[in-house]
Each structure stands twice: as structure tokens, then as C-alpha cells.
Chains A and B, each alone.
Chain A
């Protein structure tokens, strides 16, 4: 399956030179990533090489989701860094 991934803040910098996605596909801020069927949000983070400590939250199709949520073909995933304040 293929999902659209948007990385926010400095997460895209973490990705560069640090992940399977970058090495194989060339990461950009918005990337399409191909994953095995029944992959979860955590599987996606692992694939991208982003440690969960750097992640504030993940939005799936316009709402916050949890790590073990299953992804489906065509999903849009936004990954946000840890912020504070506000």
C-alpha cells in the first residue's frame, strides 16, 4: 500500500541521511511511501527512521491517531515534532 507522508518542523532534517526512505526514494517534505499491507503508524515511523521520542503526535486523515493504528492505501499521514507552550 501507498501512503502520503508530510513531515513537519525539523523532522524532515532528521530524515535526511538517516532513513531507509531517504536512501531508497529520496525524502522530501511530502513523500509517498510504500509499506507492507496492515502496517501501523509505528511501522511507518520505523521505516522513516524517526524515533518516537522526536514525535509529538501523528495525524491520520485529519485527526490525531495512536501508534498502533493500522494504515490503509491512500491514507494521508502528518507527523509533528514535540512542541511546547502555546
Chain B
């Protein structure tokens, strides 16, 4: 049993208690449980009653593969509902080395000073950090590492989080100490900013990593799974998830020019093969691990035209939303834009959607790279236009009078057009997280919990609600234990049940995990309903139902009455 640590940012009182929750609850399961139990659903998301809950995955720090994830949860200022966003990097291992199952940040301070929360074997303390205010994430972590040494893991916010913008992220350092991994969605950086925490710095503790109850079985299961993943996911190590550009383009689902088209004329210049080709020449790399114990290695280190480091973890969703969605067909341009987002602490998905809406309004033209870079600088400076964009696509659409705004429950869609990938559309509509592909992405070829079920064709409405439900259940399970890249498939649930049984020394069945996934979705849904988000909000924006997607002509036609039965389980 680990501990739950509570830190009050108003009083600076720190308390610790044993974690009495169900031992299967970790990561998202634990953040959502704590938020549901302790946060008043109707509270002001940037006010004193909201809590920022940080919980490593259950097997973080063990020898399990792809297990060093950390979930961050709170009430979202963007959606007004519950939020969990998980991230790799070095933080999960560091937190688990202190035996911490969750760190709960409470209250808001009465003055406007900035603080760093420092966690080490010597204890936990607040350190004044006004000197870090206004700095981007890269300068922030550089200064922190020069102060604390290279071994610390850091989570921090950039200017967007300091200003309380709803598209603000929380950055987490990767294994090379770069703030390139982000708990991106839902404006959690603004929640951290409201608590006046610029950064949390964790020095590795001396506590022994968690030990499985049946070590030999655990070791064998881990080894077998690692070998299988490394072989099966070789494409991800070679080409990163940027190859999803090809997947989305192949079925006409690649958002282009603010979701007007599903096919982009420069798709082959921004895909995984293009990135691998460019980086081979420049000394960057594909097959990068973002966190310890990852055998899939889907991340990358992107060097710019000058051969120097520009960014890392340049992912498909950023490429789609900042690239094709803005009609930008050059990877260097996209990488430069993404680097600024990482530095300012902005969700690349939300900002890509917001700028797409601004382009539709004529603020800058589609394809205007200097114009986009200027808009990002305006966000960091906090100009009026910058504040509009930094608060996301929904607010941008309202202010600029645009009606084609790709959001659900206030949060932007990710880089999959729901007219061509209808199961993902159902997930956007129904997830308690708002439009979030990671909550259950129905990529072509995916099946539900029954591997024998017939293929669900992404452009047809049949079977999409059932598929989305199964994928959302599996995502909720995986978010407690592992990176979702291990695969949303029945086999994963079975392997995970075996691994957890060996770890905990008690029998955990696949059905136990499926029931856990269902329970998590239900408590999150209940929080949203109590927060005032009515079930009627489970709809895509109207234009997806009425405007045929170019060039294939698809509309979103999953019947409303089927979507309304999503939570009948």
C-alpha cells in the first residue's frame, strides 16, 4: 500500500495518509475517484475548491513494460467537467520512488507569489519561485536543473498556464530532461497555475520499487509481452505515430483546412516516412523512448534544418492539427510551431483547432506559417487576441463569429474527422472527457472486446456505438496501468489481468478489469451530470451532420437514439 499526499497551497500544510482505495485503482482510476469524491462538481475550476490530482500508474517503477505513465486529473476549466490527461516522461518513476499513489494539490493561495514544490527524501517543501514567472517551459526546466541537478523529474507550466488559459498544458520532462511530454488536454496547466505552482520537482526517492508478489511469474509475463510488443509495433519504432497521417489519409479522415476536407495534398510530405527520411540526414532520431521501460519507442527527436535539436515527441495529432488542419505541408514548419506550443505550455490539438477557426475568420490565411507563429507569440504575451486563442477553439469561435467550430463540451476534436471515422465521432460525442481521441479511438481495423466480431467499417454508422463503448472501456482500464500504445484489444486486457494477478498476488480476471473500466466511465459521467453537463451535450457540432466532408461526401450519421444509449451498461 502506498500513500496519498495532500498539499494545501494556501496554508502550505502537507499531510500524508495510507491509500485505502481499491488496490486496482491507480492512474486515471484514482484521479477520477478522488475528483469525484472530493471536488464539488459545480465549483469554479480555477478556484479554491478544485483539486489537482497526480497519480502514477499502478506498475510505475516496476519492471513492467510501458508502465511509467502518470495521470493528472481535476475539474477542467475547458469543459467544465471531469478531466484526466496522462503523460509519459520521467515523473511516474520519480513519484513511485516515494511510495506515492497520489499527490493531491488543494486550495489556492491568497497572494500572487509563484512557488516550486520540491519533493525529496528530506521531505516536501514550498520554495519561492517568482524568478521563474513568465519563463517558457524550456527555460524553466533549464534553470531548475541547474539548481537541483540533472536527476530530478520536473512537471511545470509555461506562460499559458500562468495566465490561466484553458488550452494550457502541464509539461513533464522526458529522460533527456526536456519538457516535451505534456498532459495536454483540458486546461490542466491553468488549474496548476491557479494554485500558483510554477513547477513540481521530484528527486528520486530511496524507497525500493514495488515488488510483485509472484516475482518469477511476473518476470516471465513481462518478458513475453515485451518481446511481442517490440515485434508487433516495429512500425512505430521506425516511423513513429506520424505514420497515422497515412492511415487517416487512406480513409479520408485527415482534418484539412478547419475540417473542410479529409484529404490533404501534402500528406506524403508530413508523414512518418518523411520524418524518418529527414531525421536520418540531420542526426535526429526515430524510435525514441519517452519513458523508462518503453519497448514500443514511438517518440522521436526532431532536429531542425540547422541540424540542431528543435523538438521531440512530434506526434501525429500535432502534425494533423497544426499541419493539414492549417494547410501547412512542411514538417519543419510544423515542428517549429509545435516547439513554441511546448515552450509556452499549450495543447497542440486545442491550439490547432483554435487557429483553424481563426483562419476561417480570416485573421490569418490558411498556410500562413509566420502568421501562426505570430499568433502563438501573442498567446504567450497575453494580447487580447492571444487570450482568445489561448482559451481554445470554442471561445475563439464565439468571439470571431465562426459557426464551424470543431468542439464537443468545449474541447476541440483531435486529428480524426468524425465523418470518415464514425466510431471516433461517437467517442468525441460521449466521452466524459469532451472530444478526446485517447478516450477510445476507433482507428480503422480496431475491434471491441470481442475479437471475433465482424469488421466495423469506419465510414459507415453500423456498429460504431458498440465499438466506441468497448474502446472507451479499454482506454479507461489502460489509463490506470499502461500507455495505450500497448493496444486497445481484448488480448491486452487478458495479459494485463495476468500481470496484475502476479503483481498483487490475488486473482484478477479480465472481467474484473472490464467492470473497473465501466465503473470509471460511470463515475466520470456522474460527475459531469452533477456539474451541469446534460446528456444532451453528447452531440457533435451541427456541421458534421449537415456538411459533406470533401472529397468523399461523408456526413456523421450515427443515429442520435443509438448515441443516447451509450451509457446503458
Contacts and interface: CB of A to CB of B under 8 A. Distances in A.
B445 A63 contact: no
A73 B250 CA distance: 19
B485 A85 contact: yes
B376 interface: no
A65 to B, nearest CB: 8
B443 A83 contact: yes
Contacts of B459: 63-64
Interface stretch (A15-23, A32-40, A74-82): A74-82
B487 interface: yes
A86 B457 contact: no
B232 interface: yes
B435 interface: no
Contacts of A8: 235, 243, 246-247
Contacts of B454: 66
A84 B243 contact: no
Interface residues of A, number: 21
Interface in B225-243: 232-236, 238-239, 241, 243
Contacts of B250: 59, 62, 64, 78, 80
Contact of A56 (B252, B444, B484, B486): B444
A83 to B, nearest CB: 7
Contacts of A63: 251-252, 457, 459, 552
B458 interface: yes
B403 to A, nearest CB: 29
B552 A57 contact: no
A57 B298 contact: no
Give the one of B234, B437, B552 with max A CB within 10 A.
B234
Nearest to B416: A86
Contact of A64 (B251, B484, B487): B251
Interface string A28-62: 00000000000000000000000000011101001
Give the one of A78, A81, A83, A86 with max B CB within 10 A.
A86
A64 B241 CA distance: 19
Given A59-B444, A63-B457, A80-B444, A10 B234 contact: yes
- On chain B, which size bracket covers the interface? 35 or more
A57 B486 contact: no
A19 B416 CA distance: 34
Contacts of B251: 59, 62-64
A10 B455 contact: no
A81 B246 CA distance: 11
B235 A57 contact: no
A26 interface: no
Contacts of B241: 83, 85-86
Interface string A4-18: 000011110000000
B457 A62 contact: no
Contacts of B444: 56-57, 59, 64, 80
A72 B246 CA distance: 23
A37 B492 CA distance: 39
Interface in B544-558: 552
A56 B489 CA distance: 12
Interface of B: 232-236, 238-239, 241, 243-244, 246-247, 250-252, 272, 296, 298, 316-317, 437, 441, 443-445, 454-455, 457-459, 483-488, 552
8 contacts: A9-B272, A62-B250, A64-B455, A82-B445, A84-B236, A84-B484, A86-B244, A86-B316
**Pairs A-B, 4 closest by C-beta atoms:** A57-B445, A9-B235, A85-B485, A84-B487
